Amino acid sequence: MEGISLRPSDAQAGGFLDDADVTLTECRFVTWDYMGKAKPSVALKIAMLDEEGRVHDQYYSAGDPAKLQPSADGKAIQGVEGAAPGGLTSSTNAVAFLSALVNAGFPEDQITNDVSVFDGMVVHVNQVAQPKRAGLKNQKEGQTYLLVTRIVRMPGEAAPPKAAKGAPVTRPTAVTGPRPVNSVATPAAVATQPAAAAPTAVAVEVSGDLVAKARATVMEILAAKGGTVPKQRLPTEAFRVLGNDPDRNSIVTLVFQDAFLAQAVAEGAFAYDGTNVSFGA
């Protein structure tokens, strides 16, 4: 069965994170019950990796599971056989998220039915006020949701080289996007504000077993990537390699820390030049 279009213009009517740069490590459709607080629904799950190496799972409602279901790999959303034909509803949070991406500059013609097209993108996100929706019961005043307000780097785009010490820092400018889609507003003050300085990752005490497992994960990534990988890509790659491993989030955080990398270099596990991690000599 062919996946349903994810283009916002094709939609039919119907841990607190804010003001931060994040990497969209994995974008998938899932069935979500709001941690047991509501009936299950189909949702767009976005794993966001912040600059301190912490993973934040954000869920955006996408539709009724009686009509729509995630594909087996979660990359697409499909209609349920026997249900009335339809697609994503324009009033859902999932469409609000997709529309915000397009408004920030992601080409809509590159969006088909595979949500993994956003994997690896670096974006700036802000809490934005949710609009009131006709027919929706128990709406609360002041509710917000987390939306993309600026694209920092497109998927697969390399991070810019680090400036030398003492050199002036150039802030990235906002990507000029196309016309607004589905009336998802991005306040000008939010869209044009300068990026916050990146916080310094703080090393945490971990067990020797976890360190060994994290090193093995890095070695597996290096083997798959031809022997070299940018440090900035390590958390994303570790997130994918580890799947549902119970230590995934801890390792994703650990492999991004300079203290972990420096110790591995000192002990001859692999090499790190401040930008790229590679097999040692």
**pLDDT tens digits, one per residue of 96-153:** 999 999 998 888 888 889 999 999 899 999 999 888 766 555 556 678 899 999 999 8
Q: Report the distance separating Cα 263 and Cα 261, nearest Å.
A: 5
* 237 membership: H or E segment, kind and range: helix 234-242
Helix 234-242, helix 208-224: angle, nearest 10: 100
- CA torsion sign for 178, 182, 184, 188 is positive
3-state helix, strand, coil in the chain (%, to 5): 25, 25, 50
Q: pLDDT of 212-267, one tens digit each?
A: 999 999 999 999 988 998 887 888 788 888 888 888 878 888 888 888 898 989 88
Structure-token pair, residue 263? 């110790």
Q: pLDDT of 34-66, one tens digit each?
A: 888 888 999 999 999 998 888 899 999 998 898
Q: Contact 102/95 with Cβ under 8 angstroms?
A: no
Instruction: Enumerate the domain spans of the chain.
Output: 8-191, 208-278
Type of residue at 119: D
User: Which pLDDT band, with edges at 50, 70 and 90, does 166 fall under?
Assistant: low
Q: Per the confidence metrics, is the pTM higher than 0.75?
A: no
Structure-token pair, residue 255? 């492999």
Q: Is 208 in a helix, a strand, or coil?
A: helix
User: Strands, DSSP E only, in 179-243?
Assistant: 228-230
Structure-token pair, residue 172? 């990235």
Q: Report the distance separating Cα 253 and Cα 52, nearest Å.
A: 7
